[in-house]
Amino acid sequence: MSRTRARSASLPASETDWLRFIGYKAWIDGIMGDATAMFFEPYTNNPKNRGRLRDIMFPEGREGAALSMTAAQHYSTFPPGNLEKLVAASIPTRIPPHIHAIGDEGVRILLDVYERVLGEAGRVGSDHRWRVIHAQVVHPDDFARFGRLHLVAEVNPYHLSDDMRWMEERIGHERSRGAYAFRKLKDAGAVLIFGSDSPGTNAARYYLNPVYGLYAAVTRQTLKGEPAGGWFPDQRLTIEEAIDAATRAPAWASFEEDRKGVLRPGMLADVAVLDTNLVEVGHANPGALLKAQVHYTIVGGRVVFERSTAQRRDAAPSRPTTAPSGSRR
C-alpha cells in the first residue's frame, strides 16, 4: 500500500463519515461562458481573445502576464509560479490538488505543472489521485498524458447537454472534437469521474439530478434529444461506464473505495432506489433515462426520502425542455 493509500486507512479525529477534507481547489484559467478559458488559438467568434490565466499561475511580480502572451508562448518558459509551488506542497502533505482547467492551453499548462512536480518527486505513475477539474477542451496531443500521469479527470456531463448548442460557434468544429471527449479520456487511461459542478448559470433551470448526467454521457444530446445520433457520437460512453463514473470511481478518487461507491456488505448504506432499470433503459432507450424517478433515498442506512404511493401513481413526468445557455462560475 502506498503512503497515499495509507493516509486513507483511518480517519483523523477531525474527520467523520459526514465531513472529510479530500483535496484543495485552484484554477488555471477562466470559463467558456465569459470567454476566459485559455486556448492556444483565439475564440472563433472573438479573434482578439484567447482567454486568460488566473494570476496564481505566475511568479510574484508577474501577475497579469497572461494578457501579453502570444499563442507561441507557454507557461513552461516562466519560472515556477505560485500555483506550481502550491502543487509541490502536495507531495509532503499528501493532499491531492483538484485544479480547474477548461481551455486546451489551460489543460496543457496544468498537465505540464503536474508532470514537472511529480517528476521532480519521483512520483510519476504513483497512486496520487490528482485531479484535472472539467478538462472541458483537450488538445489532441494531450489525451495520452492523462493516462501516463495517472490522473483523475473530473468532468461534468450535464453541461454537455446545454453547451453543445453554442460550443462550435465559439471554438469551431475541429477544436470541439476535444470538448467533453469522455471516450478519448477514458481510453487514454484517465480515471473518469462525474460531478454536477455548481449551478452557476443564468439558466431558468439547472438540473442537479445525476441521472441527467448519465443521459448526457450516453446520448450526447440536448434534453430535447438533439442532434439525432448525438454530438460527436464517437465520444459517447456506455451506460455501465457512465454509472461507474458517477458511483464507484468518485469514491476511489477520494480514497474512500473501501467505504462507499458500491453495494457491498460493510460499506456505507447510501443508496438511491429508482423506478427504472438504468442499465436496461440506457441500452434500449436512453432518452427514457430522463423519466426515471427516485422512490427512496437512503443515507447512512436511514430512509431520508420516500415517494408516496399516490405520488408514484399520479406523477406524469414529461421530457424537460432545454434551459437557456449561460456562463458557468
| The pLDDT value given to residue 8 | 40
Give the C-alpha separation, 23 to 84, whole Å: 16
Query: Is the Cα torsion angle 71, 192, 212, 285 positive or negative in sign?
Result: positive
Q: Which helix (H) or strand (E) holds 297?
A: strand 294-299
Look at residue 252 and tell me if it is in a domain: yes
Judge whether 327 and 201 are in contact, CB under 8 Å: yes
Say if residues 247 and 278 touch (Cβ distance below 8 Å): no
Q: Three-class SS of residue 250?
A: helix
Structural domain includes residue 81: yes
Number of domains in the chain: 1
Buried b vs exposed e over 248-261: b needs ≥16 C-beta within 10 Å? ebbbbbbbbbeebb
Could you tell me whether strands 294-299 and 302-306 are parallel, antiparallel, or unpaired per DSSP bridges?
Answer: antiparallel
Three-state SS at 12: coil
Q: What is the pLDDT of residue 168?
A: 97
What's the pTM? 0.84
DSSP 74: -
SS3 (DSSP) at 113: helix
50-108: pLDDT as tens digits: 998 886 666 545 555 545 555 445 444 444 567 888 899 999 999 999 999 999 999 99
Q: Which strand (E) or helix (H) includes residue 168? A: helix 167-176
pLDDT digit string, tens, across residues 206-235: 788 999 999 999 999 999 999 999 999 999
Domain contains 133: yes
Residue 275 inside a domain? The answer is no
Domain-located, residue 288: no
Q: What's the rounded Cα separation, in Å, for the pair 263 and 297? A: 14
Which among 166, 181, 189 is positioned nearest to 234, based on CA atoms?
A: 181
Alpha carbon separation from 36 to 79, 90, 177, 196 (Å, rounded): 23, 27, 20, 21
Residue whose entry in the numeric block shows the C-alpha cell 496564481 = 56
Q: pLDDT digits over 235-284, tens only?
A: 999 999 999 999 999 999 999 999 999 999 999 999 999 999 999 999 99
Give per-residue pLDDT as tens, 132-150. Answer: 999 999 999 999 999 999 9
Instruction: Domain of residue 201: give its range.
Output: 3-12+20-263
Q: Which residue has the higher pLDDT, 81 or 126?
A: 126
Structure confidence at residue 180 (pLDDT)? 98
Q: Which three cell numbers stand for residue 102?
A: 477548461
pLDDT tens column, 277-325:
999 999 999 999 999 999 999 999 999 999 985 465 445 444 443 333 3
Is 294 part of a structural domain of the chain? no
157: cis peptide before it, omega within 30°? no
What residues contact 23, with CB distance under 8 A and at least 6 apart? Answer: 95, 96, 97, 98, 131, 254
For residue 321, being part of any structural domain is answered with no
Which among 31, 184, 177, 37 has a CA at the least distance from the CA of 106?
37
CATH number of 73's domain: 3.20.20.140
- 83 in a domain, yes or no? yes
Q: Are 214 and 291 in contact (CB under 8 A)?
A: no
Give 142's contacts (C-beta < 8 A, 6+ positions apart): 104, 107, 108, 111
Give the residues across from 246 on adjacent strands: none
Whole-number average pLDDT of the chain? 85
* R_g of the chain computed on alpha carbons: 21
